[in-house]
Amino acid sequence: MSIDQIILTLPEKSPEERARMRRNAEDKKASGPPKLRADAEKLLAALDSVEAQEREAVRTMPVAERVVQAFRKRPPSETEEKLLRVLLDNPGSTSSALSQALGWGAQSWHLHFGTMCQNREADLWPAPPSKTRDANFYSSILADFERDGATWSLKPEVVGALAQLGIHAKARA
């Protein structure tokens, strides 16, 4: 298959397939014969272009639609679904309380939640900088943090998007 035919398939490739293609192209660009180096450069430029177009398209989508798309593109693992459900079931809780509700120790909930958000940041929106450390505040992509009580709640648009994905809070009596 020619490089031009491969480039035409990029929009249908998964993130994992694209990452593999990018690694292979970078290897060929670094050490392949001249024709393969040229093809590798062309593929890398095409990958950059396709991914930039996709990011731009996401920026114009409503928040709930972005969340649905991000979680359809990369479905939540069993643990990630638990992270979301425990916050849906316990809005306004501390990280310690959420961790405890999962049977975990310390304040591990927000570390796992932040990683889940970070893994989908490119398909959602950029995380704001943290006010307390030199890093981004990934958990705030999907959740609001109330500093006074150190409590967490999912953003309202996220709750609606999760419902579209079949992730609901437990029915309350």
- Specify the CATH number for the domain of residue 95: 1.10.10.10
- Give residue 171's pLDDT: 61
Does one domain contain both 44 and 88?
no
By residue range, what is the domain housing residue 130? 63-164
Does one domain contain both 131 and 97?
yes
Mean pLDDT of the chain: 89
Q: Mean pLDDT throughout 21-45?
A: 93
- Provide the pLDDT confidence category of residue 137 given band limits of 50, 70 and 90: confident
Res. 153: pLDDT tops 70: yes
| Domains held by the chain: number | 2
Which residues contact residue 5 at a Cβ distance below 8 angstroms, ignoring those fewer than 6 apart?
none
Does one domain contain both 85 and 55?
no
Cβ pair 8, 16 in contact under 8 A: no
Q: Is 171 domain-assigned?
A: no
- Give residue 10's pLDDT: 92
Residue 164 is encoded by which pair of tokens?
């579209």
Does one domain contain both 80 and 158?
yes
- Rounded to two decimals, what is the model's pTM? 0.69
Does one domain contain both 68 and 45?
no
Determine whether 83 is exposed, middle or buried from the number of CB atoms within 10 Å of its CB (0-12, 13-18, 19+): buried
Backbone angles phi, psi at 84, to 5 degrees: -70, -45
